[in-house]
Structure 1
Amino acid sequence: MKTLDERFETLRAEEVAPGIVVATLNRPDRYNAMTNTMFVELERLAWGLETEESARVLVLTGAGRAFCSGYDLADADDLPGLGALGMLDQQERAARALTAIRSLRVPVIAAVNGPAAGGGLALALAADIRLASPAAKFNAAFVRIGLSAGDLGTSWLLTRLIGPAKTSEICFTGRIVDATEAAELGIVNSVCADGEVVAAAIALAEQIVTNSPGGVQLSKRALQANLEVGSYAAALELENRGQALLTRSPDMAEALSAFKEKRAPHFQGT
């Protein structure tokens, strides 16, 4: 993939199997804390994958002991002096990066290998699926540094995952949620064996890749869009359009033929 030829300062990206890209936040000495360079590179990674027709799944993880510790506080001293418009520009730069990851046409799996705090939690929440190692910890720590949990989509996404009461408790206290509790609450899909979270994410990605690319992509679009529509009727309208489009694809005819012939389908993704 052309995307993987790009040189990143804060990320590593590798196609580990056909269509499966693992992107690793690569600032282990800073617990993969976010910088403006990382925001730009996450957005660039997403743009690159959008143009790669062979891309089917993105796995996100962190180098070393952490997934992502949030915004690098070594760069935070200047934030109070930015002024309102300067701070808005800073927020929007970060928001564009996470929006680009969440909006990818292909599924995103977060392999949370260690602590995910603040913006790191927001990045994990932006994924479609989250797997955790036993070392994973989740922390909406914004209130501990004088900020709001209304940051980078956290208040919207976490509420929809676990409900407003639990979200309020976690956000108002800033307490840590360990991997076991995260699975019980539904923040993560499952907790993997120690050291196996990336392998488990790749195995899950391999299951996804066996399916129709168009079917998976329009499923993701419907699931995300229908979180935001206001009625059952609007949801049905969107679903109807997706199904009508997919029946025009040769992949559906191939799937039906494969079923009748008792063989695995060979999807083209067109």
Structure 2
Amino acid sequence: MAETDTVVVTTPSEGVALVTLNNPERMNSLTLETLDRLEAVARELDADASLRAVVVTGSGRAFCSGLDLSVLGTLSGNPTPLQLRLQERAVRPFVAVRDVHVPVIAAVNGPAVGAGISLALAADIRLAGSAAAFVAGFTRIGLSAGDLGVSWLLPRAIGYGAAAELVFTGGQLDATESARLGLVNRVVDGDVVAAAVELAARIAANSPSAVRLSKSALKANLEIPSYAAAIELENRGQVLATRTEDMAEAIAAFREKRDAVFTDR
């Protein structure tokens, strides 16, 4: 990828993709073109059968400072039908990131503002560097926090009350408070991207189909209305897992006291 790309993809270890927002001079703010590029990258990664995990981060001192002023400045002046189309266009990359079939880890290296929170929330796992901060400034600029998935994902991450206080006040959370509330899995003392890549490599060492089925079950059961319905979904996924060669290989490796060699079959 060219260094001028606003979204750069590298492969720090086998089966792991590192996606980096690459506009550090503007704290990785998101133009419409960057949003389109992020969506395309997410779709390409989802189609990659060799992929095992994804890490998303920002270059420089920020994770993502939200929508670029070139986007924000046009919002109130557009005709309503056009604005709805732009809103639908803007949310697609976040949905695409969330829909990637393998685990996605957000390495939040600095401020995640507005749409930056949305991107972090689209990941399955969030690690925070000591400089991370989550800024929900929607209401401070006259916008709703019902934006880019925040109103659905944030209460599920930290609970309704904490989410309500954060978005109604337009406030922010530092790394420590984010970890206390459960917005991030943990705060990393050191290189958060390296820690995220190491975590991704640990995930990549497991059975690919088992990890995919686990992600599918966790996501689906956020929306299933009953325990009984969740068990039904789990039963079917577990039976599929037992049909794989990887499951047989894992049992053989355990008996033979060796590392399993998974082939995603």
State TM-score, norm by structure 2. 0.97
| Local SS of the residue matching 1:256 | helix
Q: Confirm or deny: 8 A CA contact 2:128 2:175 kept in the other structure.
A: yes
Q: Give a deviation string over 1:38-81, Cα, whole Å, max 9, x none.
A: 11111111111122111111100001110001101233222112
For structure 2, the 5+ residue unaligned runs are none
What does 1:184-223 align with in structure 2 at a 5 Å threshold? 184-194=180-190, 196-223=191-218
> Which residue of structure 2 lines up, in the alignment, with residue 78 of structure 1?
74
Deviates more, 1:38-47 or 1:136-145: 38-47
How much has 1:19 moved relative to structure 2? 0.4
Total equivalences in the alignment: 265
- SS of 1:131 mapped into structure 2: strand
Q: Which amino acid aligns with 2:32?
A: N
Choose the corresponding residue for 1:259, options 226, 233, 254.
254
Match of 1:164 in 2: 160
* Partner residue in 2 for 1:148: 144
SS at match of 2:73: helix
The secondary structure found in structure 2 opposite 1:42 is helix
- State the alpha-carbon separation in 1 of the partners of residues 2 and 122 from structure 2: 23
Give matches, 1:1-270, under 5 Å: 9-194=5-190, 196-270=191-265
Equivalent residues of 2:32, 2:71 under 8 A apart = no
Deviation larger for 10-19 or 45-54: 45-54
- RMSD in angstroms over aligned alpha carbons? 1.3
1:9 CA drift (Å): 2.8
Please tell me the residue identity of whatever aligns with 1:67. Answer: F
* 1-structure distance, mates of 2:162, 2:194: 30
Contact 1:8/1:41 (CA < 8 Å) preserved in 2? no
Contact 2:138 2:144 in 1 (8 A): yes
Relative to structure 2, which stretch is displaced further, 83-92 or 161-170?
Answer: 83-92
Q: How much does 1:8 deviate?
A: 7.3
Gaps of 5+ in 1: none
Distance in 2, Cα, partners of 1:8 & 1:105: 28
Superposition TM-score, scaled by structure 1 size: 0.95
Query: Alpha-carbon deviations, 1:183-205, whole Å to 9, x = none?
Result: 011000111114x1000001111
SS in 2 for 1:216: helix
Distance 1:232 1:86 in 2: 42
Q: Secondary structure at the match of 2:66?
A: coil
The CA deviation at 1:168 is 0.5
Worse-superposed segment, 220-229 or 77-86: 77-86
CA distance in 2, matches of 1:269, 1:130: 26
Deviation digits for residues 128-183 of structure 1, max 9, x if unmatched?
00001110000111001100111111111110111111110000001111001000
- Runs of 4+ deviating beyond 3 Å: 5-8
Tell me the distance in 2 between the aligned counterparts of 1:8 and 1:208: 30
Shift of residue 7, structure 1, vs aligned partner: 8.8
2:31–2:70 Cα contact (<8 Å) kept: no
